[in-house]
Every structure is written in C-alpha cells, then in structure tokens.
C-alpha cells in the first residue's frame, strides 16, 4: 500500500502547521516537566528519601 495511492485527508496548510507545531510544543513542555520532576525527586533523595 503506497502513500501515493492513499492520499492523506485534505487538511489546510495552516492546520498542518498548527498540528505539527503543537506536537513540537508539547515535546518542549515534556522536556521541561521532566527536568522539574527529576529536580523534585533529587531534592527528595537529598532530604532523606531512600528507594
């Protein structure tokens, strides 16, 4: 099944940009939240959490 034979659904250009940009924005947010969560866990270990 080739992609040429299966045209993707028609989406306007601005919507495509919006979709891809929102995906990338969520990756960036994910990175920042991951750093914050790691910082919380590190502080917890520093104040005495043992796993």
Partner 1 sequence: MKKLLAILPGLALLLFSALLVHRFVEPWIKIHWKQGFDLLHLNAMMLSFLWGIVLGNVCLRPVWARQGVKSSAMILKTGVVIMGSLYSFKEIGKIGQTSLVMIFFFVLVTFFFVLWLGKVLRVQRSLTGVLACGCGICGVSAEIAAAPLMGASAAELAYCIGVTLGFGLVEVVTYPAIGTLIGLSSYQFGGWAGTGILNSAQVLAVALAFEKDTQGLSTVKVSEIFNITRVLFLPLLILILAFYASSHKERVWRTDSRKLVVEKFPVFILGFLCMTALTSVGAFNAGQLASLRSLMLWCFSVGLIGLGMRTDFGAIRQTGGKPLLMGVSAGLLKTMASLVAVLLFLK
Q: What is the DSSP letter of 6?
A: S
In whole angstroms, the minimum distance from the beta carbon of 44 to partner 1 comes to: 9
Rounded to an integer, what distance in angstroms lies between the CA atom of residue 29 and that of residue 39? 15
Phi and psi torsions of 43, nearest 5°: -60, -45
Is 43 among the residues that bind partner 1 (CB under 8 A)?
no
Is 16 among the residues that bind partner 1 (CB under 8 A)?
yes
Binding site for partner 1 (CB under 8 A): 1-5, 8-9, 11, 13, 16-17, 19-21, 23-24, 27-28, 30-35, 37-39, 41-42, 45-46, 49-51
């Amino acid at each position: 099944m080739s992609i040429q034979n299966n045209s993707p659904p028609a989406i306007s250009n601005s919507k495509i940009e919006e979709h891809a940009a929102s995906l990338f924005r969520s990756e960036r947010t994910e990175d920042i939240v991951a750093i914050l969560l790691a910082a919380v866990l590190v502080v917890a270990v520093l104040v005495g959490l043992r796993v």
